[in-house]
Structure 1
């Protein structure tokens, strides 16, 4: 779940608590090419205020128009289905790509307790499934895993919600500032650990949260999970290797360390001498980043974030595999 989805749910809860009537729209099915994937959400307040997105804009305009011209009854059924783009003409009218069709649930929020509970789970870095019964409007929350996906059988919508992706940076130097800025633009929650007080200056403007303690303690304290990436950027093995020893045995989906090929190999040998298992060492990304001929901190940050996003999205790093085979 990204921050846009969380903001939709936070607004739903805020509006409901203020006594305003709210309708929540969720994309449940798409055919052909659609602007938003299943799971995308939009909340519509009784005065026409919206947050979120389910298309490129035209569907949103029609949802607001339905409220204003009375097609949307705020005291009607708790849940119903709406479909856009059945015909070629309608697809063109609503800005859907050729052949695109979009199906939404239109859900009246009468009880905000499930929204509050779901947000609490996400903030605790837990993955949760929300089951919506389209006949009764009843919502049931259940634990879920990262392997679960959205399902819809025409009667029950089971949508998966989880915490934002996180990036823990070991080191608060210049490179980390570039990485943090790019990571925020990619909707990662940015965490920084650096016990060296000399590097803290200026970070109050970087929108990253500092984690106190030594690097290995930080990896444990944030409760590293499969939605966390950890990158060691201090170039000081006394700090970087402390973090790596703990991070490589954690559930982090990406663990990397700054350094040349020679230094990365030396680091692997050092980690082995410190007792780390070979399977754990094999998880280490080093040198970090995709090869783009980077020469300065901004370019290195770009290559690093490209690699992290590729791993997050399950893309095979063929380029690095070829380069490794040539060595």
Structure 2
């Protein structure tokens, strides 16, 4: 499952290969309330077909009308602002008088989209540099903390996974978790030394390795953009990996299991050289409480909690699985 931005780039590449004219539209800046963040993209082709999004739909309608009226004739990029006046804010549906700045770039064979897709397919994070005066494009390696910016007449956009997710265990739940996380632009690695679980794995774009999980965690050099989720139910595989992850800078470390099993896990982990502060970082039972029972629902629960932690949502606004479920419910559906 591709992320939205990857789908935009792949569709644009297909349009170009078929001989269609098309434009790439990227959110550059927003002021006030805006439905889409900087870096969000859409592609639009002659005839008005569109993929992706830069707003709640109102600006897309204007872009489609503009292409229908004028076609795609420009040869160099331009910056376009929406929502400057109160009238525009009402017209384009920008809440609270919000303003959005877009880069509208006509694409061609010289735009480097196939090369960019090739680098992304290998898991690279890439800076795409566009000269706003000439339209010339170049690609360069980007670091995880690179961000979209404009330097004079040079627009620099960043593409590729800047967040990593390491899943311990290659079971059915891992499959759903890996698919949705990939669509959220995580670079996902699944680790399982058990051959019987690896043999049926077929999730496109997800790396599968068979080393011991704790070795993977150590070799990965986890940073503040990394998450680890242990899903095997096997202490021999989960515990050492969790110990190493809890000592790292990973922003999220979680483990499947009931409240009772996670209490036993915490007792085992206390036998290692973990501080109380490190042990408190473990999300177990993993995920937020949404009454999840199926693997797909549990995956959504886990990713919801991961997203909340990543976005620094106050813990008081969440109901984690570790909190007792309401009376009369089955509680956490994770055995």
Q: State TM-score, norm by structure 2.
A: 0.74
User: How far does residue 113 in structure 1 lie from its aligned partner after superposition?
Assistant: 5.3
With over 3 angstroms needed to count, the CA separation of the structure-2 counterparts of 1:224 and 1:116, relative to structure 1, is farther
- SS of structure 1 residue aligned to 2:232: coil
Matches within 5 A, 1:180-259: 183=181, 188=186, 191-196=189-194, 209=206, 211-216=208-213, 227-244=225-242, 253-258=251-256
Does the 8 Å contact 2:3/2:183 carry over to 1?
A: no
Instruction: State the number of aligned residues.
Output: 315
Partner of residue 105, structure 2? 107
User: Does 38-47 or 141-150 show the bigger shift?
Assistant: 141-150
Gaps spanning 5+ residues in structure 2: where? Answer: 323-335
Does the 8 Å contact 1:13/1:112 carry over to 2?
A: no
Question: Residues of 1 paired with 2:163 and 2:177: CA distance?
Answer: 14
With over 3 angstroms needed to count, the CA separation of the structure-2 counterparts of 1:215 and 1:253, relative to structure 1, is farther
Matches within 5 A, 1:53-202: 53-70=53-70, 72-74=71-73, 76-112=74-110, 114-152=112-150, 155-163=153-161, 165-173=163-171, 176=174, 179=177, 183=181, 188=186, 191-196=189-194
User: How far does residue 192 in structure 1 lie from its aligned partner after superposition?
Assistant: 3.7
Partner of residue 37, structure 2? 37
User: How far does residue 306 in structure 1 lie from its aligned partner after superposition?
Assistant: 3.1
Deviations 1:237-266 (CA, angstroms, capped at 9, x unpaired): 212235446656777543333455543333
Gaps spanning 5+ residues in structure 1: where? Answer: none
Q: State TM-score, norm by structure 1.
A: 0.76
With over 3 angstroms needed to count, the CA separation of the structure-2 counterparts of 1:114 and 1:222, relative to structure 1, is farther
User: How far does residue 271 in structure 1 lie from its aligned partner after superposition?
Assistant: 4.2
- SS of structure 2 residue aligned to 1:69: helix
Does the 8 Å contact 1:241/1:271 carry over to 2?
A: no
With over 3 angstroms needed to count, the CA separation of the structure-2 counterparts of 1:291 and 1:247, relative to structure 1, is closer
User: How far does residue 4 in structure 1 lie from its aligned partner after superposition?
Assistant: 0.6
